[in-house]
Amino acid sequence: MSLSAILIAAFFVGLSGAMVPGPLLTVAIVQSAQKGWIAGPLLMIGHSLLELLVIAGLFLGLDQLVSGRIFGSVLSLAGGGVLFWMGYVIIKDAMAGKFSLRVDNVSPVIRQRGSGALITLGIVVTAANPYWMLWWVTFGASFLQKSLIHGNAGVLAFFSGHILADFGWYTLVSVMVVMGQKFLDSKVYQYILILSGVFLIFMALYFIYSGIYNMNW
């Protein structure tokens, strides 16, 4: 893939993951209601710092770790498998109406924990999500490997696209919560999630094909 393709793909993959409701999104919504639109970006600073550390760790040992063709193929297949599963679950749950941006039933414990430093909270909540690390050690590592064809520029394009999606989405959520207007109603949110799930499946098929092709050659 070209540098622009890496950046764009990383952006949309990152957006697909960011939009799925989880602990971090819940905290972002609650904190935005309590502390204003800046809550989202501050949480993302903590989130991005942790992801930068993970990327640095993968990057430092990645050349030796994935030097073998078989290992690279297995990594692509594993990443594709995880991404396919994520895309399927997103589509299934979105069509079932399981996703919502409502905060009516948020636990008081989450509200209390969110009163601390937002940057630190972003780190803690991110690290506490097991699916986050699963994503990075499978699909994230596989995507990073493919970005290395362009050297440091490829890694920068990958990280930039990924983190821009996170900052963009969480800032938008914070602004919407503060303004109290339904710029993104449940139906629109549902359709966006379905499209994101479809995109994830296409990316998964690409990685699976790449892994099988490299293994055969």
- The rounded distance, in Å, linking the Cα atoms of 146 and 202 is 16
- Compute how many other C-beta atoms are within 10 angstroms of the C-beta atom of residue 36: 14
Q: Is the pLDDT of residue 66 over 60?
A: no
Flag whether the pTM goes above 0.85: no
pLDDT recorded at residue 107: 47
pLDDT recorded at residue 183: 60
72-102 residue pLDDT tens: 677 778 878 877 887 888 788 888 877 665 5
Q: Is the pLDDT of residue 110 over 60?
A: no
150-182 residue pLDDT tens: 888 988 999 999 999 999 999 999 888 778 645
Q: Whole-number mean pLDDT of the chain?
A: 78
Per cent of the chain over pLDDT 90 is: 14
Element (DSSP H or E) covering residue 118: helix 118-127
The alpha carbon torsion through 200, 203, 205, 207 (nearest 10 deg) reads: -130
Which of the pair, 137 or 66, is modelled with greater confidence? 137
pLDDT recorded at residue 44: 94
pLDDT recorded at residue 115: 43
Q: Is the pLDDT of residue 112 over 60?
A: no
- Find the domain containing 115 and state its range: 3-216
What's the structural domain count of the chain? 1
C-alpha closest to that of 49 among 139, 127, 135: 127
- The rounded distance, in Å, linking the Cα atoms of 17 and 15 is 5
